[in-house]
Amino acid sequence: MSNSTVLEEKGTISVQMENIFPIVKKALYNDKEIFLRELVSNAVDAINKYRHLTVIGEAEKDEAELKIELDYDKEQKLLTIRDNGIGMTADEIKKYINEVAFSSAHEFMARFQKDDAAKAKGTQIIGHFGLGFYSAFMVAKQVEIHTLSYQQDAAPVIWTCDGSPAFEIKPGSRETRGTEIRLHLMDDELEFVEEPRLQHLIRKYCDFMPYPVYLKETKANRQEPLWNKNPKETSDEEYLEFYRYMFPFAQDPHLWVHLNVEVPFSFKGILYFPRLSHEMDPAKGQIKLFCNNVFVSDQTEDFLPRFLVTLQGGLDCPDIPLNVSRSMLQNDPYVQRVASFVTRKVADRLKEMYTKEREKFVSTWEDVHTFIKFGVMEDEKFYDKVKDILIFKSSKGDYVTIKDYLERNPKLDKKVYYTTGEPGQQSYIEMFKAQEIEVLYLTTLIDTHFIQYLEFRNQEVKFARVDSDLSESLIDDEKASIVDPKTNKTGDETVKELFEKELKIDKLTIQVQSLKSEDVPALIVLPEQSRRLYEMSRMMQMQGNDTGMFEDMLNEHTLVLNSKHPLIQSLRKSADLSSAKDQLHLICEHVYQLAMLAHRPLKPEQMEHFMRNANQVLQIVASKL
């Protein structure tokens, strides 16, 4: 292109690739609405440059409000974005617009990087890329730039392009400093001259930009995010009000973490712990990522650890390494350092709450425990910081740590008994409570994995569900049963053989024990590891996977007959009554089915058989009346 200074000129845009427009329209940006963010960001850059020049005395300051204005004309299919920033000369347009991929913001910062005044508050430059302007061609069939530089004796300029490499520069008529971008929209992009759509986009992308954004003379953005305020000067009500503004349909959060870091890197933000409607509700989580107050993305999976996905809030990271379209994070040590720092600050906030606000911490545990447990298993450093504040609901009615539990139950020899809270486990819990043994409640799906992780990190501690084995504390030190001289067997051996003969169930082991409780005739116990595999199979089944091999492992179980229960004692005496053979079979089956029903839900065919037996038992009882 010619170096002539004549304003009226035609030519072709100089690009560093064959044709930039198809790339901008189809590949560079994944959402057409991004164009508004880019153009408003450029306007903010222009105002910041002007402010900086006034600070260092290179531009004359006036009293006009520094602002960005959006206007639209439905009939003309025209959308306009204007600012009163630094403006451009004809030569600057040629350099910064026509020479695509050359960033004016980058050159501007390089020019003043050694100047202390460049560090003055409010002079940050958003733009890092020269391609942002060209996102306008995703929605416009023609784009015009009407601009006037701040420089004395500068002439107004108009630049026009129809989306091809051809452009035109000619004298303009603008009388005030700044730039106006006019987008002549394509026929299928007229949503961008609808006021509700523009209001939504301003709030989404431009809400926290440092200057007012007006839509047809009405201020449409908030401007100041709460994370810019000193945490020590921010009230709880301000945090709640800001949360309600960002997430208007959500319940008030449990707690929040205010991040305000200058060294060793700069970022600010507020993360909220929302109220979850069920155990894992990732849809509730939404952390919005900003770069110099410009909204970038709410897809922060690559930026933060996975366990933070249930949190809500915003993070502003000025130095975040984005790609050219600002839409994706780049693999960079900075990202890892920020993620690590955020994780540490979240852990610190939880520890502070546990120490200083114990009652509040306990009251919020049911909503935050899933997030914490997931984080513990995901991040070793997070576990190291919060391991001493992991609490569990106890059968004694309070919440305890594992350390507390072991100290309160020294006879258990580092074994932790727990329940998943299912109704069938209540009889087991009552037996433990009768012996003053504490039981912890682990009632969510994540707990199966969580206790395995805790066992891995604490090799001396073992978790056992209340129905996984019989604690020695539940067994009475009863003297051995008397041997019957006719059969040469003890009563326990007799009743054991009776059940083995009448049930004939594969992979069923039968034991006879004298339990300290006389309330339960029989119990089903299942080895802890087999039960955990079964729990895993339930999760796999929810994901549509085959669980047959785990179901088979579940068949290996033990029926424990309580020799203290009157029913079992009666069966001892009646075991050899041939006249009652059918009734003995019925009772043995029913005792087993009752124990199984308390252990886990019966399958439909099993339940049908149980109901049939129950009716027969009732008939026998009724006949004795």
User: 530-566, pLDDT tens digit by residue?
Assistant: 777 776 776 666 555 555 555 665 678 899 999 989 9
The model's confidence at residue 121, banded by pLDDT at 50, 70 and 90, is very low
Average pLDDT over residues 98-124: 50
Regarding predicted confidence, which is higher, 402 or 471?
402
The answer regarding whether domain 391-473 maps to CATH 3.40.50.720 reads no
The DSSP element (H or E) to which 73 belongs, if any, is strand 68-73
Please tell me what DSSP assigns to residue 516.
Answer: S
Hey, what CATH class is 475-623 in?
mainly alpha
Classify 237 as helix, strand or coil: helix
Find all residues with CB under 8 Å of 23, minimum gap 6, and list them: 17
Residue intervals in the chain for CATH 1.20.120.790: 475-623
Residue intervals in the chain for CATH 3.40.50.11260: 391-473
Which residue(s) pair with 350 in the sheet?
Answer: none
Pick the CATH number of 9-219 from 3.40.50.720, 3.30.70.20, 3.40.710.10, 3.30.565.10: 3.30.565.10
Q: What is the pLDDT of residue 296?
A: 85
Residue for token pair 């609405």: 33
Residue intervals in the chain for CATH 3.30.230.80: 226-364
Taking the whole predicted model, whether its pTM rises above 0.95 is answered as: no
The model's confidence at residue 199, banded by pLDDT at 50, 70 and 90, is very high
At 4, the amino acid letter reads S
Q: What is the pLDDT of residue 40?
A: 95
Q: What is the pLDDT of residue 127?
A: 46
Residue intervals in the chain for CATH 3.30.565.10: 9-219
Q: Which tens digits make up the pLDDT trace of 239-296?
A: 999 999 999 988 899 899 999 888 777 889 999 998 865 554 544 568 898 988 888 8
Q: Residue 527, preceding bond cis, omega within 30 degrees?
A: no
The fold adopted by the segment(s) 226-364 is: Ribosomal Protein S5; domain 2 (3.30.230)
Q: Which tens digits make up the pLDDT trace of 486-517?
A: 666 787 888 999 999 999 888 889 999 888 88
The model's confidence at residue 471, banded by pLDDT at 50, 70 and 90, is confident
> Does residue 122 surpass a pLDDT of 50?
no
* φ/ψ (deg, to 5) at 267: -165, 155
Asked whether the beta carbons of 298 and 287 are under 8 A apart, the reply is yes
